[in-house]
Amino acid sequence: MYLAVVIDLYSRKVVGWSIGSRMKAQLVCDALRMAIWQRRPAEGLIVHSDRGSQYASNDYRRLLKAHGFEGSMSRKGDCWDNAVVESFFGSLKQERVQWRHYQTRREAHQDVLNYITMFYNSHRLHSYLDYMSPNQYEAEMAKLRKVA
């Protein structure tokens, strides 16, 4: 199974995801569409990705252009630009997947979705966020904006 995610760099929240049996353009487009639906970002948003062919596909590029987003990819060998996503996948593997033995794809799919929604976004603490979860951080920032 393949998992594509879109992470908000501000809050480290996974705001879009898609799981499929093949790593195709449709998978990453679906993850981006979910993120757009959840966040409703303004034109000019920079969407960073790795150098996978699915991110260079015509479908993905058309989706970016249709929403007025700017696509960004690292140069070959610059893995640091995608460190937040790589960190997420490392956490997913270490904290969840490596300890499980899934009987079906559906079981694996459900477990990964539960990890994202019920643990990673809601409870997993991030040092970058002053040891808050992405959801807690967003709530705190919303309170501060109301006060200001």
Q: What is the CATH number of the domain that holds 122?
A: 3.30.420.10
What are the E-state strand segments in the chain? 2-8, 13-20, 46-49, 70-73
Which one, of 128, 122, 116, lies nearest residue 91 by Cα?
116
pLDDT at 73 over 90: no
Which one, of 111, 116, 93, 141, lies nearest residue 31 by Cα?
116
Domain that holds residue 29: 2-147
Q: Quick one: pLDDT at residue 79?
A: 61
Q: Quick one: pLDDT at residue 51?
A: 82
pLDDT tens-digit profile of 4-44?
999 999 999 999 999 999 999 999 999 999 999 999 999 99
Query: What is the DSSP code string of 36-98?
Result: HHHH-PPTT-EEEE-S-GGGSSHHHHHHHHHTT-EEEEPPTT-GGGGHHHHHHHHHHHHHTGG
Q: Quick one: pLDDT at residue 28?
A: 96
Q: Which residues contact 115 (CB under 8 A, 6 or more apart)?
A: 92, 95, 96
pLDDT tens-digit profile of 54-65?
999 999 999 999
Locus of tokens 């694996």: 108
Q: Quick one: pLDDT at residue 77?
A: 64
- Structure tokens of 20? 């499929």
Q: Quick one: pLDDT at residue 14?
A: 98
pLDDT tens-digit profile of 85-133?
999 999 999 999 998 999 999 999 999 999 999 999 999 999 999 999 9
Q: How many domains does the chain have?
A: 1
> What are the counts of helices (DSSP H) followed by strands (DSSP E) for the chain?
5, 4
Beta bridge partner(s), residue 2? 20
